[in-house]
Amino acid sequence: MNKIGTWLNLRQITTGTPGSDLNRDRLKKIIDSFIAKGFVEVRDSENPKAKFEYRITDKGKSSFRKCIDFDPDIRFVLGLRDPKGV
């Protein structure tokens, strides 16, 4: 879920995550924990093949950015690009 403000279902999340080996049950548990913390919001899906869609909240975005700013090496662990191009 790297697209802030975009609603995605579980299939879109797993197919849009390069190198992801998470199965849907494991991913659902992770997302549910993020929902409980207010990092992600959920709604009924507009796609009839999916039950729910998820979106990162401003609180989730802010918390993620604080984590990245606290320890820049976390970018490497998460496989994120360095914004400075280093």
pLDDT at 4: 62
pLDDT at 36: 96
For the chain, domain boundaries: 10-78
Q: Which fold has domain 10-78?
A: Arc Repressor Mutant, subunit A (1.10.10)
pLDDT at 85: 55
Burial state string for 50-84 with b = 16 or more CB within 10 A and e = fewer than 16 = eebbbbbbeebeebbeeeeeeeeeeeeeeeeeeee
- Reported for 77-84, long-range contacts at CB under 8 A and 24+ positions apart, including other chains, are 79/18, 79/19
Block means of pLDDT (10 residues each) for the chain, 86 residues, are 69 67 81 93 88 91 84 73 60
Cα dihedral across residues 16, 18, 21, 22: positive or negative:
negative
With 0.85 as the threshold, say if the pTM is over it: no
